[in-house]
Structure 1
Amino acid sequence: MKSEYLKYALRQLEALLRIPSPTGFTAQVSRYCFYEFANLGYIPTLTQKDGVLVCLGGGENPILLGAHIDTLGAMVREIKPNGRLRAAKVGGLQASNAETENVTVHTRGGKTISGTFQLENASVHVNGEYDKIVRTFDNLEVVLDEKVKDAAQVRALGINVGDYITLSPRFSVTESGFIKSRFLDDKLSAAILLTYAKYLKDEQKQPSRKVYVDFTTYEEVGHGGACIPEDVKEMISVDMGCVGEGLQCDETQVSICVMDSSGPSSRAVVDGLVEAAERAKVRYALDVYPHYGSDADVALRAGHDVRHCVVGAGVYASHGYERSHIEGLANTFDLLCSYLD
Structure 2
Amino acid sequence: METQMAYILECMEAIMAIPSPGGFTESCTAYIEKEFVRMGYSVSRTNKNALMVTIKGVDDEAQKMISGHVDTLGAIVKEIKPNGRLLLAQIGGFSWNSVEGENVLVHRNNGVPITGSLMPIHASIHIDSELVRTMERTDETVEVRLDAVTDNADMTRALGVNVGDFVSFETRYVQCENGFIKSRYLDDKSAVAIILGLCKSIKEKGLTPKYTLHFCISNYEEIGHGVSYIPPKTDTLIAIDIGPVGPRQTSTEFAVSIAAKDSRTPYDYKLRQTLAEVCVQNNIDHHVDVYNRYGSDASIGVLQGFNVNFACIGPGVDSTHHYERTHVKAIENTAKLLWHYAVQD
TM-score normalized with structure 2 length = 0.97
**How much has 1:271 moved relative to structure 2?**
1.3
Q: CA separation in 2, counterparts of 1:132 and 1:120?
A: 12
**How much has 1:121 moved relative to structure 2?**
2.8
Amino acid in structure 2 at the alignment position of 1:46: R
Q: CA separation in 2, counterparts of 1:260 and 1:92?
A: 15
After superposition, give the CA deviation of every residue in 1:41-92 in whole Å (9 maximum; x if it has no partner): 1111122212101102213210000110000000111111111111111111
CA contact (8 A) 1:237 1:311 kept: yes
Kindly indicate whether residue 63 of structure 2 is the aligned counterpart of residue 62 of structure 1: yes
**How much has 1:111 moved relative to structure 2?**
1.9
Q: CA separation in 1, counterparts of 2:293 and 2:165?
A: 30
Kindly indicate whether residue 25 of structure 2 is the aligned counterpart of residue 26 of structure 1: yes
Q: CA separation in 1, counterparts of 2:140 and 2:207?
A: 53
**How much has 1:226 moved relative to structure 2?**
2.3
Kindly indicate whether residue 184 of structure 2 is the aligned counterpart of residue 185 of structure 1: no
Kindly indicate whether residue 93 of structure 2 is the aligned counterpart of residue 92 of structure 1: yes
Secondary structure at 2:88 match in 1? strand
CA contact (8 A) 2:77 2:165 kept: yes
Q: CA separation in 1, counterparts of 2:303 and 2:258?
A: 21
Kindly indicate whether residue 201 of structure 2 is the aligned counterpart of residue 161 of structure 1: no
Secondary structure at 2:7 match in 1? helix
Matches within 5 A, 1:151-300: 151-300=153-302
Q: CA separation in 2, counterparts of 1:214 and 1:50?
A: 10
CA contact (8 A) 1:73 1:167 kept: yes
Secondary structure at 1:146 match in 2? coil
Question: Which stretches of structure 1, 4 residues or more, deviate above 2 A after TM superposition?
Answer: none
CA contact (8 A) 2:46 2:229 kept: no
**How much has 1:13 moved relative to structure 2?**
0.3
Q: CA separation in 1, counterparts of 2:290 and 2:271?
A: 15
CA contact (8 A) 1:279 1:338 kept: no
Compare 160-169 and 49-58 and name the one that shifted more.
49-58
CA contact (8 A) 1:111 1:158 kept: no
Structure 2 unaligned regions, length at least 5: none
CA contact (8 A) 1:17 1:187 kept: yes
After superposition, give the CA deviation of every residue in 1:276-315 in whole Å (9 maximum; x if it has no partner): 1111100000111121111111211111110011000001
CA contact (8 A) 2:2 2:201 kept: no
Q: CA separation in 2, counterparts of 1:66 and 1:15?
A: 19
Q: CA separation in 1, counterparts of 2:122 and 2:85?
A: 11
For the aligned residue pairs, the C-alpha RMSD in angstroms reads 1.0
After superposition, give the CA deviation of every residue in 1:98-152 in whole Å (9 maximum; x if it has no partner): 1100001001121210000001031110012111111112100000000111111
**How much has 1:251 moved relative to structure 2?**
0.5
Kindly indicate whether residue 94 of structure 2 is the aligned counterpart of residue 123 of structure 1: no
CA contact (8 A) 2:315 2:330 kept: yes
Amino acid in structure 1 at the alignment position of 2:30: R
Secondary structure at 2:125 match in 1? coil
Secondary structure at 1:264 match in 2? coil
Aligned residues: 340
Secondary structure at 2:128 match in 1? coil
Secondary structure at 2:127 match in 1? coil
Q: CA separation in 2, counterparts of 1:319 and 1:291?
A: 11
CA contact (8 A) 1:34 1:46 kept: no
Kindly indicate whether residue 79 of structure 2 is the aligned counterpart of residue 78 of structure 1: yes
TM-score normalized with structure 1 length = 0.98
CA contact (8 A) 1:257 1:288 kept: yes
**How much has 1:179 moved relative to structure 2?**
0.5
Amino acid in structure 2 at the alignment position of 1:191: A
**How much has 1:93 moved relative to structure 2?**
2.8
Alignment partner, residue 106 of structure 1 = 107
Structure 1 unaligned regions, length at least 5: none
Identity among equivalent pairs (%): 38
Alignment partner, residue 6 of structure 2 = 7
Q: CA separation in 2, counterparts of 1:56 and 1:278?
A: 26
Matches within 5 A, 1:319-334: 319-334=321-336
Amino acid in structure 1 at the alignment position of 2:263: S
